[in-house]
Amino acid sequence: MAVEFSKNQDMAPDRVCVRIADIDFALVSVDPALKIQIQGASQDFLIPEATPHVTIETRWDDLSAVELSGQKLFESGAVWQLYQSDSMYMFSLSSKAMGSVPYEVAHVRKDWTYGEALLHRGYFDMDKSIYPLEYPLDELLMINFLSLGRGAEVHACGVVDSHGNGHLFLGQSRAGKTTLARLWQKEKGITVLSDDRIILRQMDEKIWMYGTPWHGEAGIACSVRTRLTRVYILLQGKTNEVVPLGRTEAATKLFARSFLPFYNPEALEFTLGFFEEVAKAVPCYEFRFLPDRGAVEFIQRLKD
């Protein structure tokens, strides 16, 4: 559902809601000087209003003297670090291109349902609207919220065929997800949910796959869900062929192609169990393929 906002930045909303994988996020500006603008593919996930599962309040701040208190849980080696105190997690996001002060700090409750995102006013043009949950923060919030028994985000291209069946093509970078997504897009009756990120959830004893706003180079992001029918682990090959995978091997390969809170043992345990359920529910294959239309035709002809 598309929600229109005025292009007049004075009219930019102070509260926006998005729905991703049936999880509703509310982003609320509690600072009159901070105007929210949803950008890019996330606009297709906007909803008019919701009783949110996750609420993030946001405001400008001066982070030059911010204290990163608590235990350092994780260092990504790139933009973000994670700390924890007794009651909260804290993300610190920094960019060398901007400076040594974090450009954003987000405090989040340990159940991931409420948080506060503070943006360093010294780095931004405060006259312009902004999206405070800019990657990677929005994805980090989602990954952690999912990991508490709700599902998992995988590195995958998701396709709905003309019969409504969901095909999940998993792969690390350069495996061919975007290439496949572009090939599928040319077929009639096909919907591509994403060329890079799919969320899996178990609802009503079925496994569902959801599109997300976090697309790859093909820019494909669709806010639709479908029932998962098959899983394919992508490998480049000299011909198109599939090799069935056992449950344990499939679950392991799913795990290696997902986005997980590695600092949370309970989350990892849930996710491993969830991937076992996925591997039990649908046929899983290794798919060696050639990057042309033949790969799509091969899958369309495949019978379990």
Partner 1 sequence: MKDKPDQETQQSKKPYRKPELKKVALKPDEAVLGYCKTSNTRGPGIGVCDSPVRCYVIGS
List contacts with partner 1 (CB under 8 A).
74, 76-80, 93, 95-98, 103-104, 123-124, 130-131, 134-136, 139-140, 143, 155, 172-173, 177-178, 195-196, 214-217, 219, 252-253, 255-256, 258-260, 262
Closest contact distance (angstroms) between CB of 273 and partner 1 is 17
Residue among 275, 149, 141, 135 nearest 216 (CA): 135
Closest contact distance (angstroms) between CB of 204 and partner 1 is 30
Which one, 130 or 242, has the nearer CB to partner 1? 130
Which one, 217 or 297, has the nearer CB to partner 1? 217
Which one, 1 or 97, has the nearer CB to partner 1? 97
Closest contact distance (angstroms) between CB of 157 and partner 1 is 11
CA–CA dist 141, 156 (Å, integer): 19
Which one, 9 or 172, has the nearer CB to partner 1? 172
Structure tokens at 39: 């950008």
Closest contact distance (angstroms) between CB of 194 and partner 1 is 11
Closest contact distance (angstroms) between CB of 69 and partner 1 is 22
Residue among 110, 108, 136 nearest 266 (CA): 110
Which one, 50 or 78, has the nearer CB to partner 1? 78
Closest contact distance (angstroms) between CB of 122 and partner 1 is 11
Which one, 161 or 193, has the nearer CB to partner 1? 193
Closest contact distance (angstroms) between CB of 237 and partner 1 is 17
Which one, 50 or 256, has the nearer CB to partner 1? 256
DSSP the chain: ------SSGGG--SEEEEEETTEEEEEEE-STT--B---GGGGGGEES----SEEEEEEEE--TT----SEEEEE-SSSEEEEE-SSEEEEEE--TTT-SS-SEEEEEETTSSEEEEEEEGGGS-TTS-B-TTTTTHHHHHHHHHHTTTT-EEEEEEEEE-TTS-EEEEE-STTSSHHHHHHHHHTSTT-EEEESSEEEEEEETTEEEEEE-S---TT--B---EEEEEEEEEEEE-SS-EEEE--HHHHHHHHHTTEE--TT-HHHHHHHHHHHHHHHHHS-EEEEEE-SSHHHHHHHHH---
